[in-house]
Structure 1
Amino acid sequence: MDKRVRLGKTDLYVNPIGLGTNAVGGHNIYPDLKEETGKDVVREALESGINFLDTAFIYGPERSEILIGEVLKEKGLRQDTIIATKGAHKFVDGKIVMDNSPAFLKAAVDDSLKRLQTDYIDLFYIHFPDTDTPKDEAVGALKELKDQGKIRAIGVSNFSIEQLKEANKDGYVDVLQSEYNLFKREAEKELLPYTAKSNISFVPYFPLASGLLGGKYTKDTTFNDGRAKSPLFTGETFIKNLEKVEQVREIAQAKGAEVAHVVLAWYLSRESIDALIPGAKQPDQVRRNLKTLDIQLSNEEIDKIDRIFQ
């Protein structure tokens, strides 16, 4: 299904279900990734009507952007695709540090353009704040690049409300990407009200809470990665979280849908959330994510899900 929506105040029109691509070439995030499978995921997205791809320098590093650039060139679909990428990470003596300086961001955009094999980026985010650069100066550098036609929209990611307000002093910020899901709702206190008031589009990451909101886990599921130490996935909290997910499953089953589809549809009912970027490691996951667009939630169902996770 191809239903385009406007991303905030930008001139970017996207399918509300995009594709997060940290599993496309993101060898530093997921071990044992096959790059050809990652390219198949991107191909499937493009062939299925997804036109919003979210990547970053640090996915790989560099490999995700490179693979996406290769697929877009092969498919000849650059004009039809909205590419979002991010920069801020740099390596100093083998360690990663954040840099938001105007000189670094301008160089980061140029480097991303080469890897993506394109002459413009639709949406460029400052991936993480650094500790030194005034945020309005950092965004001012991106505004220069926007005026030059190198980028079409300006985003910031992982910014606190204070950093976001400073970054948006001149009204140049178009999109905020931040962690938000039904188990992690801090963004509702200040970030979401501010983005709604400022016509900034809010793109949540980890929308399925590392799979917990996907409805696939039971109390017997064990984890051998970072989730094994996460409070969400351990002890009584894990059991209670699964009980909440089961209440969503009742809504999903009545619609002949999966839990994940209902959860994603709930986010799209929130003010200032125009689009989502669930990830995928296999092409069939891309097709499943798109089923979200078939879900119509009533006001009663929206309120019920809200109450379950309060």
Structure 2
Amino acid sequence: MKKIQIGKTDLRVRSLGLGTNKIGGYNLFPNLDDETGKKVVQTAIDHDVEMIDTAYMYGLGHSEELIGEVLQHNDRDKVVLASKAAQQVAEDGTVTLNNTPEFLTKSVDEALKRLQTDYLDIFYIHFPDQETPKAEAVGALQRLREAGKLRAIGVSNFSLAQVKEANADGYVDLVENQYNLLQPDATNELVPYLNEKNISFVPYEPFAAALLTGRYSLENLPHFEEGDHRLKIELYEPDQLKKNVAKVDQLKPIAARYDATVAQLVLAWYLKNPKIGPVIPGARTPEQLLSNVKAYDVQLSDADYEAVAKIFA
């Protein structure tokens, strides 16, 4: 299996990873089960899913803790472990963004403790703050890399201008921003710059918060429980939802030709897309993880790749 090089580093990963906001992310999703979450991580490792992507904000460190428990029973070198931080949470629950070198250094050290490891393969600044010079923030991560605590440096949810500022010294290896067939803006201006600078692009929300899984139809529109972060997503607003579901419905006959699910077809489309790097779909259960991995078996033709692109153009 061909692997993707991460930026200019010596890190190489298989193209399908695991996003873990549904593993311990009790502040994002209702009714999560910790034991099931740990089983998802173990299933990923057992099936050669190398990149495991987490963040402090997934359960305020709880996702990291669960992954750390699983790592104790596995070969750490088999995992490309990524985490993120930028959110400073006060005792009253107020969240402020902080990119200062002091806060990022502290955040990395705390993540290492929760994950029970002495190094992170990748660390991202999760969101930009408004005050800290971005090159200064990344410079702090570079010092941590030189100290052996990180192998690659990333930024997440940064605009093109902010990425350029962050990369002033050439230290940025990855950008993790929102991208999927329904939200393709990142490939217009950001990705060309990243490709030029040999910076890997890691798209998050590849299923557009479940819209691109094919589980919904015009007769079966989604309904979420209170506390589910998807209630706040623009794609689910009433004036957009039916149009988005109608587009996804057009994928069903294409997926059927490959004896695949719509979700597997969508992942296969990303894997064939030369503009993007590793894809990190989430999974709530081991079964969902195993279904995602089957996307490797969908060898999408050029004609069907273009047909999918046309639906979402």
TM-score, with length taken from structure 1: 0.95
Q: State the match for 1:32 in structure 2.
A: 31
**Residue deviations 1:103-150 (CA, integer Å, cap 9, x gap):** 111111111111111111000000000110000010111111111111
The sequence identity of aligned pairs, in percent, is 49
Q: Which residue identity lines up with residue 245 of structure 1 in the other structure?
A: V
Figure out how many residues of one structure are paired with residues of the other and give that number.
308
- Counterpart pick for 1:79 among 51, 69, 77: 77
Q: State the match for 2:88 in structure 1.
A: 90
- Counterpart pick for 2:257 among 248, 254, 257: 254
**Residue deviations 1:152-173 (CA, integer Å, cap 9, x gap):** 0000000001100000111110
Residue pairs, 1:179-218, within 5 angstroms: 179-218=178-217
Q: Could you tell me whether the CA contact under 8 Å between 2:18 and 2:283 is conserved in 1? A: yes
**Residue deviations 1:236-262 (CA, integer Å, cap 9, x gap):** 533332222122222111111111111
Q: Could you tell me whether the CA contact under 8 Å between 2:187 and 2:275 is conserved in 1? A: no
Provide the rounded CA distance (Å) in 2 between the counterparts of 1:221 and 1:113: 41
Deviation at 1:231, TM superposition (A): 4.6
Q: State the match for 1:221 in structure 2.
A: 221
Deviation at 1:3, TM superposition (A): 5.1
Q: State the match for 1:239 in structure 2.
A: 242
Q: Could you tell me whether the CA contact under 8 Å between 2:180 and 2:205 is conserved in 1? A: yes
After the TM superposition, which segments of 4 or more aligned residues of structure 1 sit over 6 Å from their partners? none
Provide the rounded CA distance (Å) in 2 between the counterparts of 1:4 and 1:306: 24
Deviation at 1:93, TM superposition (A): 4.8
Q: Could you tell me whether the CA contact under 8 Å between 1:175 and 1:203 is conserved in 2? A: yes
Q: Could you tell me whether the CA contact under 8 Å between 1:195 and 1:272 is conserved in 2? A: no
Q: Which residue identity lines up with residue 13 of structure 1 in the other structure?
A: R
- SS of residue paired to 2:39: helix
Q: In 2 relative to 1, CA 226–65 (structure 1 residues): closer, same or farther, beyond 3 Å?
A: closer
Residue pairs, 1:74-153, within 5 angstroms: 74-75=73-74, 77-94=75-92, 95-153=94-152
Q: Could you tell me whether the CA contact under 8 Å between 1:8 and 1:272 is conserved in 2? A: no
Provide the rounded CA distance (Å) in 1 between the counterparts of 2:206 and 2:100: 30
Q: In 2 relative to 1, CA 26–148 (structure 1 residues): closer, same or farther, beyond 3 Å?
A: same
Q: State the match for 1:291 in structure 2.
A: 294
TM-score, with length taken from structure 2: 0.94
Q: Does 1:268 align with 2:271?
A: yes
When the two chains are superposed, the root-mean-square deviation of aligned CA atoms in Å is 1.6
Q: Could you tell me whether the CA contact under 8 Å between 1:24 and 1:39 is conserved in 2? A: yes
Q: Which residue identity lines up with residue 117 of structure 2 in the other structure?
A: T
Deviation at 1:65, TM superposition (A): 0.7
**Residue deviations 1:177-234 (CA, integer Å, cap 9, x gap):** 0001111111122111111111111111111111111011011324135545645334
Q: Which residue identity lines up with residue 76 of structure 2 in the other structure?
A: R
Q: Which residue identity lines up with residue 271 of structure 2 in the other structure?
A: L
Q: Which residue identity lines up with residue 53 of structure 2 in the other structure?
A: D
Which consecutive unaligned segments of at least 5 residues does structure 2 have?
A: none
Q: Which residue identity lines up with residue 47 of structure 2 in the other structure?
A: S
